[in-house]
Amino acid sequence: MRASNHSITGSKVHTQYMHPLSGQTIIFLPGIDGTGISFEPFGKILPQDVKVQVIHYPTDRLLSFEETVQCARDQIHPDQEGAIVLAESFSGPVAIALVGSGQLKAKCLILCSTFARPPKPLLLKVLGYLRLESLIQLPIPRFVFKHMVEGGEEAADLFLGLWERVKVLVPAKVLVHRLNMIRQMDVRGFLPKLAVPCCYIQATGDRSIPASALFDFIDLVPDLKVIRIRGPHFILQAQPQASLTAIQNFVSLITDQSSGVSPRHGR
């Protein structure tokens, strides 16, 4: 056990385990949909005493990258300074810009399946020539989701349900605009300026972000912690328990380091 609370009743001592995230606030920056729907599978297994702030991006406006960063910043209250920032995919560069520029004072930054510069630039360029707005509105066969994610029938049903909800909430033109934004994103200049503990969670079966995207972070982020989890690009959704365990271990590690406690064997 990392820490515990003790209460005495008569001659009995009651011990209550305090998990590493106890009393913490997590600020979640979502994927390209910007709705926060993708946080639900992970959010359901979080301990009850963890506070959560889910950032949302507008569905009725086409924001630039700088406006997206400001939109996220405007939703974070001053009393949430020192929170755990958790960003996935599209929002990784947004979180990097926020923390690296000093606009947001975080306890730590956890990045999932993301990038610091455009991943697969040639593919992104080719997609720019396609009529993606029409394609996005077409129904996606279930077998396609089974190919995209690991976990069989149950995982395919989960992602298909999430995608159908996203399509209702987010116009296709907004999704296409954000996809095109990725072609212009380059936040490598902020990486050396990340003055908080940073963790990169890499999905070993990611078919959206190449494994090489991690190299920029390894080269430029001081004392980066890398955790690899077997699963698809949508790692928080496909492997919520493994992701939670990884995040708890990372937060426990940096908490011990800040308090001068030697890391325990096996972490």
pLDDT of residue 6: 38
Q: pLDDT for 31-78, tens place per residue?
A: 999 999 889 999 999 999 999 999 999 999 999 999 999 999 999 988
Topology of the domain covering 4-120+185-258: Rossmann fold (3.40.50)
Q: What is the 3-state secondary structure (H, E, C) of the chain?
A: CCCEEEEEECCEEEEEECCCCCCCEEEEECCCCCCCHHHHHHHCCCCCCCEEEECCCCCCCCCCHHHHHHHHHHCCCHHHCCCEEEEEHHHHHHHHHHHHCCCCCCCEEEEECCCCCCCCHHHHHHHCCCCHHHHHHCCCCHHHHHHHCCCHHHHHHHHHHHHHHHHHHCCHHHHHHHHHHHCCCCCHHHHHHCCCCEEEEEECCCCCCCHHHHHHHHHHCCCCEEEEECCCCCHHHHCHHHHHHHHHHHHHHHHHHHCCCCCCCCC
Q: pLDDT for 211-233, tens place per residue?
A: 999 999 999 999 999 999 998 88
pLDDT of residue 2: 40
Q: pLDDT for 107-138, tens place per residue?
A: 999 999 999 999 875 655 665 655 665 556 65
Q: pLDDT for 66-110, tens place per residue?
A: 999 999 999 998 888 899 999 999 999 999 999 999 999 999 999
pLDDT band at 193 (very low <50, low <70, confident <90, very high): very high
pLDDT band at 168 (very low <50, low <70, confident <90, very high): confident
pLDDT of residue 4: 39
- The residues spanned by each domain of the chain are 4-120+185-258
pLDDT of residue 146: 58
Percent of the chain exceeding pLDDT 90 equals 57
pLDDT band at 19 (very low <50, low <70, confident <90, very high): confident
262 pLDDT above the threshold of 60:
no
pTM summary value:
0.84
Location of structure tokens 């996203």? 166
pLDDT of residue 67: 98
State the sign of the Cα–Cα–Cα–Cα dihedral 84, 230, 125, 220.
positive
